């Protein structure tokens, strides 16, 4: 989602907290206190920054539908004037995410909505986030989080995994992950238990099938497992530093048990209505923000492309693309450029740490696929030993440059060499060939099969598996004539 002009990463409030954790009963608080003026002001200040970080708020009928469902479920929170107090935004983001901040600001991405299969699932996810607001989870966590900015929390993620808890590790990590869509804190386990319990309660009160919370988590678990296989990872669960939904598979049975314990029977799902309303929604990356196609990142507007290392997870953020693997992490982004690559590389290093200066041992000049380039590395002591920090920059115009910032265990920079050498310009034809994928809702005909419908998916591989996950179908479930299903096709 790299933008055409540089926008400095903002230090968004640490109260931006993501949907994550485990489902369970928990102690469900009674929420009846209206949103206060101070809470509303807190949310209003962070809201525009979060919209910018996650691709902006979508408009039109799909966004209006999500807002309507969110406000309807918020009414059951017990908060005074809930319908008027809550702001529900559909974000133009290709990651599966939903989160909330104080003041009644609720967010879900279009990608997570596209993974859902009925309105009850949408209400369940939004209800979970309403539960966080109603239970004042942000305020209860604020004391523990007040020393960390949103960026600092991301820094702690990397420092805990690779760098230990050293100060320099945290500072480097902030530089690596700032601007990515991974920059959200998680609630504590007990708070997640409360929010899921509240979400299921709201589903019951609104007349929805309370089992929808479990089914949407099941879809998310299946998607995670599929992504893991595509990316060459043996472990189906995405590392916690690469997902705001750690291990949804572990939550499914707990959510189902909680729904059954509620004593509610039946309830509506509004499946056909939901599928009709989301028909045509963008699926995956928006070409105007750059797209991830397997191991390739292609930005048709910036006319550039590169290839990530085999087995690495690539996430397209608002101001950066993050590349994460077991042998290192990297970020592709941009910074102000005055025409001198040596100065550019030095400036990137200088912004890495406020506690100690990190300088490259030397800066080397080279050419990569016709692009003037420069790179430098620095070895840094950390809590878990030494690490190498590398900046590799490319000039695309006299006033425009981009760079990779990578961190690896000492001596491991070569794991990114292929990626550094893959940066290239693309021509107008290659840019024009980048066409967005969209959701196409179709009705199953009498002669249709899973295989025949999956063959229409806009992918070159694993079409049946993708079709099943998209439609929440396990390996044993089939389809029947007259049923509505989702396909991913190229937009027109």
Burial of 344 by CB count in 10 Å (0-12 exposed, 13-18 middle, 19+ buried)? buried
Predicted local confidence at residue 18, as pLDDT: 32
Higher pLDDT: 359 or 375? It is 375
Tell me how far apart the alpha carbons of residues 285 and 436 are, in angstroms, rounded to a whole number.
7
User: Does the pLDDT value for residue 167 go beyond 60?
Assistant: no
- On the CB side of 129, how many CA atoms lie within 13 Å of its CA? 29
pLDDT beyond 90 at 372: yes
Count CB neighbours of 476 within 10 A.
5
Categorize the per-residue pLDDT at 361 as very low, low, confident or very high, splitting at 50, 70 and 90: confident
- Characterize 100-113 residue by residue with b for buried, 16 or more Cβ atoms within 10 angstroms of its Cβ, and e for exposed: bbbbbbbbbbbbbb
- Per residue in 351-366, is it b (16+ CB within 10 Å) or e — as a string? ebbeeeebebeebeee
Nearest to 450 by CA among 491, 488, 480: 480
Using one digit for the tens of pLDDT, what is the confidence trace for 34-74? 788 888 888 898 899 888 878 889 999 999 999 999 999 99
Question: What's the Cα-to-Cα distance from 285 to each of 52, 256, 282, 335, 454, rounded to whole Å?
Answer: 16, 32, 8, 23, 20
Residue predicted with more confidence, 358 or 484? 484
Q: Which stretch of DSSP H or E encloses residue 156?
A: helix 150-158
**Least confidently predicted of 246-250, 423-427, 474-478:** 246-250
Specify the residue for token string 């199953």: 444
Could you tell me which residues come within 8 angstroms of residue 95 by beta carbon, excluding any fewer than 6 positions away?
109, 111, 112, 181, 315, 316
Give the confidence band of 388 by pLDDT, cuts at 50, 70, 90. Answer: very high
pLDDT over 80 (residue 272): yes
| Residue 187 pLDDT | 61
Hey, which residues does 307 pair with through a beta bridge?
A: 296
In this prediction, residue 24 has a pLDDT band, given cuts at 50, 70 and 90, of very low
In this prediction, residue 452 carries a pLDDT of 97
Strand 321-325 to 282-283 pairing? unpaired
Residue pair 185/14 in contact (Cβ under 8 Å)? The answer is yes
In this prediction, residue 434 has a pLDDT band, given cuts at 50, 70 and 90, of very high
Distance (Å, whole) CA 482 – CA 463:
21
SS3 label, residue 114: helix
Q: Are strands 291-293 and 296-299 parallel, antiparallel or unpaired?
A: antiparallel
Which tokens in the block code for residue 98?
């939903």
- What is the chain's mean pLDDT, rounded? 79
Band of residue 467 on the pLDDT scale cut at 50, 70, 90? very high
Work out the pLDDT band at 468, boundaries 50, 70, 90. Answer: very high
pLDDT of res. 9? 28
pLDDT per residue as tens digits for the range 223-262: 888 877 776 655 544 433 233 444 555 666 666 676 677 6
The pLDDT-based confidence of 166 (bands split at 50, 70, 90) is very low
The Cα diameter of the chain in Å comes to 68
- 181 has a pLDDT exceeding 80: no
Please give the span between the terminal C-alpha atoms of the chain, in angstroms, as a whole number: 21
Strands 321-325 and 484-490, bridge-based pairing? unpaired
Query: 9: Cβ–Cβ under 8 A, 6 or more apart, which residues?
Result: 151, 178, 179, 319
pLDDT of the residue at 341: 97
* Predicted pLDDT at 13: 29
Q: Which two tokens stand for residue 292?
A: 């991830």
Residues 290-325: tens digit of each pLDDT: 998 888 999 999 999 999 998 888 878 767 888 988
Q: For the segment 104-160, what is each residue's pLDDT rounded down to a tens digit?
A: 899 999 999 999 999 999 999 999 888 888 876 566 555 444 333 332 322 222 322
């Amino acid at each position: 989602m790299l933008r055409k002009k540089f926008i400095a990463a903002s230090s968004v409030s640490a109260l931006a907290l993501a949907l994550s954790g485990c489902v369970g009963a928990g102690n469900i608080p009674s929420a009846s206190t209206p949103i206060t003026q101070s809470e509303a002001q807190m949310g209003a200040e962070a809201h525009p920054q979060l919209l910018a970080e996650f691709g902006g708020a979508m408009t039109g009928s799909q966004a209006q539908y999500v807002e309507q469902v969110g406000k309807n479920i918020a009414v059951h929170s017990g908060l005074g004037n809930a319908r008027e107090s809550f702001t529900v935004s559909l974000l133009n983001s290709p990651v599966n995410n939903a989160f909330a901040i104080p003041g009644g600001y609720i967010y879900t991405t279009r990608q997570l909505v596209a993974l859902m299969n009925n309105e009850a699932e949408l209400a369940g996810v939004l209800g979970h986030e309403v539960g966080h607001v109603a239970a004042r989870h942000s305020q209860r966590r604020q004391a523990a989080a007040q020393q960390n900015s949103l960026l600092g929390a991301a820094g702690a993620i990397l420092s805990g995994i690779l760098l230990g808890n050293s100060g320099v590790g945290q500072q480097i990590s902030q530089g690596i992950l700032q601007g990515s869509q991974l920059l959200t804190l998680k609630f504590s386990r007990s708070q997640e238990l409360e929010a899921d319990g509240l979400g299921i309660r709201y589903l019951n009160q609104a007349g929805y099938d309370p089992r929808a919370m479990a089914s949407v988590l099941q879809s998310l678990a299946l998607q995670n497992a599929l992504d893991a296989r595509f990316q060459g990872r043996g472990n189906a669960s995405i590392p916690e530093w690469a997902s705001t939904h750690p291990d949804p598979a572990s939550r499914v049975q707990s959510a189902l048990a909680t729904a059954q314990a509620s004593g509610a029977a039946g309830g509506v799902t509004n499946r056909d209505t939901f599928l009709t309303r989301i028909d045509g929604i963008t699926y995956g990356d928006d070409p105007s923000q750059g797209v991830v196609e397997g191991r390739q990142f292609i930005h048709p507007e910036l006319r550039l492309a590169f290839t990530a290392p085999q087995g690495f997870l690539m996430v397209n953020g608002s101001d950066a693309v993050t590349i994460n693997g077991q042998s290192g992490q990297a970020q592709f982004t941009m910074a102000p450029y005055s025409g001198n690559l040596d100065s550019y590389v030095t400036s990137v290093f200088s912004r890495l740490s406020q506690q100690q200066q990190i300088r490259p041992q030397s800066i080397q000049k080279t050419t990569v696929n016709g692009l003037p380039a420069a790179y430098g590395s620095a070895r840094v002591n950390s809590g878990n030993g030494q690490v190498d920090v590398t900046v590799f920059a490319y000039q695309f115009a006299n006033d425009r440059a981009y760079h990779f910032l990578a961190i690896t265990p000492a001596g491991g920079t070569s794991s990114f060499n292929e990626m550094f050498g893959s940066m290239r310009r693309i021509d107008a034809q290659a840019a024009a060939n980048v066409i967005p994928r969209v959701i196409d809702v179709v009705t199953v005909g009498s002669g249709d099969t899973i295989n025949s419908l999956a063959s229409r998916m806009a992918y070159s591989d694993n079409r049946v598996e993708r079709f099943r996950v998209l439609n929440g179908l396990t390996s044993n479930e089939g389809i029947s004539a007259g049923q509505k299903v989702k396909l991913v096709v190229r937009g027109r």
